[in-house]
Amino acid sequence: MITLDPKTGALTNATTGPTYSKPAAGPELGQNDFLTLMLAQLQAQDPLNPMDNADFVAQLAQFSQVSGLEKINKTVETLGSGMGDFRVASAANMLGRQVLVPGNVARADADGGVHGVVDLSENASSVVVTYSHGVTGELLKSMPMGRQSRGDMAFDWTDVPADLVAKRTPIRISVSATGAEGSKTLGPQVYARVLSATSGGKGQDLTLQIEDYGALNALEVNSIR
């Protein structure tokens, strides 16, 4: 009986041993090659000692295995191509949007607002958010937020002066909270604009270029406006 290894392409005679090995640098055997070899085996078999049914079924099972692997490979290639198209579409959709990033510098959006979030590690009797000119340091606005519970607290300045909006002036944000441990300054997260997006090839992640913050892996984004 001659058998074919679907992984290596090697032919082996049960009596005489290996009869053929596929060259290492040669092309992969496909379904047609497998079927041709099987038909050749049937034609060359000893009429007085033909292949029994169990051996024939085993050969068919090997053929099915090779066929299944080829279908899987084609499916994976199709999925890879589709993912590439999806990444391109995602990149285009991100342009001009704002994503939440750790930082204290923000710029007003087209509606004249600055938005962010701060994580309060404990209940606070008072929270104050201050906004300063990012270049001159001038205090622009101080916004008392009152008593706040532990957890994420959103903050917004929705009436940023028109000249700051038009010039896209950077605004520095500071958050102070008073709790059981006293008063302390907290590091906020702010919404910053996506300037560009690059779709990585060969399964690489989408990379965003964020205004004032540079490159950011899209997988790190957990909120978008």
Q: What is the pLDDT of residue 21?
A: 52
Q: What is the pLDDT of residue 179?
A: 92
Q: Tell me: the pLDDT tens digits for 128-167?
A: 999 999 999 999 999 999 999 999 999 999 999 999 999 9
Task: Answer yes or no: do 175 and 67 share one domain.
Answer: no
Q: Which positions ≥6 away from 13 have C-beta within 8 Å?
A: 1, 2, 19
Sign of CA dihedral 163, 165, 170, 172: positive
Last residue of a domain, one of 47, 69, 92: 92
First to last CA, the chain: 67
Q: What is the pLDDT of residue 86?
A: 53
Question: Residue 186: is its pLDDT beyond 90?
Answer: yes
Task: Answer yes or no: do 189 and 86 share one domain.
Answer: no
- Say what the pTM is: 0.62
Q: Tell me: the pLDDT tens digits for 3-30?
A: 555 555 555 555 555 554 545 555 555 5
Task: Answer yes or no: do 88 and 105 share one domain.
Answer: no
Task: Answer yes or no: do 130 and 86 share one domain.
Answer: no
Rounded to 5 degrees, φ, ψ at 88 are -65, -45
DSSP H helices in 95-172: 162-166
Q: Please report whether residue 49 resides in a domain.
A: yes
Q: Please report whether residue 136 resides in a domain.
A: yes
Task: Answer yes or no: do 108 and 87 share one domain.
Answer: no
Q: Of residues 143 and 92, which shows the higher confidence score?
A: 143
Highest-confidence range of 30-34, 87-91, 194-198, by mean pLDDT?
194-198
Q: Please report whether residue 52 resides in a domain.
A: yes
For residues 126 and 147, is the Cβ–Cβ distance under 8 A? Answer: yes
Q: How confident is the model at residue 46 (pLDDT cuts 50, 70, 90)?
A: low
Q: Locate 98 and state its tokens.
A: 């704002």
Q: Tell me: the pLDDT tens digits for 47-89?
A: 666 666 666 667 666 666 666 666 666 665 655 555 555 555 6
Q: Which domain holds residue 178?
A: 98-220
CATH number of the domain encompassing residue 204? 2.60.40.4070
Task: Answer yes or no: do 158 and 123 share one domain.
Answer: yes
Last residue of a domain, one of 50, 70, 92: 92
Task: Answer yes or no: do 27 and 42 share one domain.
Answer: yes
Say how many domains are in the chain. 2
Q: Please report whether residue 114 resides in a domain.
A: yes
Averaged pLDDT of the chain: 80
Question: Residue 124: is its pLDDT beyond 90?
Answer: yes
Last residue of a domain, one of 30, 64, 92: 92
Taking residues 219-224, report their average pLDDT. Answer: 88
For residues 89 and 182, is the Cβ–Cβ distance under 8 A? Answer: no
Q: Please report whether residue 159 resides in a domain.
A: yes
Task: Answer yes or no: do 83 and 114 share one domain.
Answer: no
- The beta strands (E) that lie in 34-186 are given as 98-102, 105-106, 114-120, 124-133, 139-148, 151-157, 171-179, 182-186
Tokens 């909270």 belong to residue: 177
Task: Answer yes or no: do 111 and 178 share one domain.
Answer: yes
Task: Answer yes or no: do 141 and 210 share one domain.
Answer: yes
Q: Please report whether residue 38 resides in a domain.
A: yes
Q: Please report whether residue 225 resides in a domain.
A: no
Q: What is the pLDDT of residue 40?
A: 74
Dist. CA 113–CA 110, nearest whole Å: 7
For residues 112 and 162, is the Cβ–Cβ distance under 8 A? Answer: yes
Task: Answer yes or no: do 135 and 161 share one domain.
Answer: yes
Task: Answer yes or no: do 59 and 106 share one domain.
Answer: no
Percent above pLDDT 70 for the chain: 59
Q: Which positions ≥6 away from 53 have C-beta within 8 Å?
A: none
